[in-house]
Amino acid sequence: KQEVTQIPAALSVPEGENLVLNCSFTDSAIYNLQWFRQDPGKGLTSLLLIQSSQREQTSGRLNASLDKSSGRSTLYIAASQPGDSATYLCAVTSYDKVIFGPGTSLSVIP
């Protein structure tokens, strides 16, 4: 059974710092991995999608990498801003199901 974990559970950083969020999954048979952002009480906003054949994707200050063989992905956020404060979720598509990690709650302090 596919399981997804995320470390750390919570992170608090001063504005301007670069940071890394980690995601691990147990079964390397995935079609893709997505990173989402969720603001309190809201739905999910897709940030980046990495297909299983890809190694990384970039969008603005965000860069996500994927190492399928080791079951790991990282989300790198450059020059963090207070507006980046949210919960970040990773999810893998495995056997037609989308399975989520528990999320990392990020707080960027002005």
Partner 1 sequence: DVKVTQSSRYLVKRTGEKVFLECVQDMDHENMFWYRQDPGLGLRLIYFSYDVKMKEKGDIPEGYSVSREKKERFSLILESASTNQTSMYLCASSDAKNRAGEAFFGQGTRLTVV
Q: How far is the CB of 20 from partner 1 (least distance, A)?
A: 20
Is 40 one of the binding residues for partner 1 (CB under 8 A)? no
Using CA atoms, how far residue 26 sits from 14, 88, 94, in Å, is 32, 19, 11
Q: How many CB atoms lie within 10 A of CB 14?
A: 9
Backbone angles phi, psi at 13, to 5 degrees: -135, 155
Q: At 58, which amino acid appears?
A: T
Positions in 49-68 near partner 1 (CB under 8 A)? 49, 51-53
Distance, in Å, from the CA atom of 58 to the CA atom of 74, rounded to the nearest integer, reads 12
Q: Which is nearer to partner 1, 21 or 80 (CB)?
A: 21
Q: Which is nearer to partner 1, 71 or 103 (CB)?
A: 103
Q: Which is nearer to partner 1, 25 or 36 (CB)?
A: 36
Q: Which residues bind partner 1 (CB under 8 A)?
A: 31-32, 34, 36, 41-44, 46, 49, 51-53, 89, 91, 93, 96-103
